Amino acid sequence: MSDEDFMREAVALARDNALQGGRPFGAVLVRDGVVVARAVNRIHETNDPTTHAELEAIRQASAALGSPRLDGATIYASGHPCPMCLAAMHMTGVKAAFFAYSNEDGEDFGLSTAKIYAEMAREPQAQSLPLRPLRPQGEAGLYEEWAGRRR
């Protein structure tokens, strides 16, 4: 199958999900030319805002392969992946991702994550949800303890 074939499948999943009352997002995760996972956005079913199609595909693939690493995989997403999904792709070793519909395509429908990308480009302390360090007094050694248990 070609990249376009995999993308057609992702878009078909998205279209079917929309017909079922969900959001128009689908994803296909492929490694070595083989489909490892197919998924759709499940927020409407779970009320879990992290059940994006790409993350669901990553979860399925990791379970199927028995590993949190998906090195060499490619994700075909019907829509432009949000920053959360893109970060997960980086963290799992996905090598490439394609999308059919851009943030610009989704803007008029409330389906764009361009504003979140712009916010995430700012320094963490300058974002609307500021990220600040706060280590309780006397707290130390968490990472060392973890590393010691791995040996």
As annotated, the active-site residues are: 54
Q: What angle do CA 118, 124, 128 make, to 5 degrees?
A: 65
Return the H-helix or E-strand segment holding 96. Answer: strand 96-101
The count of C-alpha atoms lying within 13 angstroms of the C-alpha of 62, restricted to the half-sphere facing its C-beta, is 15
Cβ–Cβ under 8 Å, residues 47 and 114: no
Cβ–Cβ under 8 Å, residues 69 and 77: no
Cβ contacts of 17 within 8 Å, gap of 6 or more: 23, 24, 25, 26, 40, 41, 53
Identify the bridge partners of residue 35 per DSSP, sorted by sequence position: 30
The Cα 131–Cα 42 span in angstroms is 28
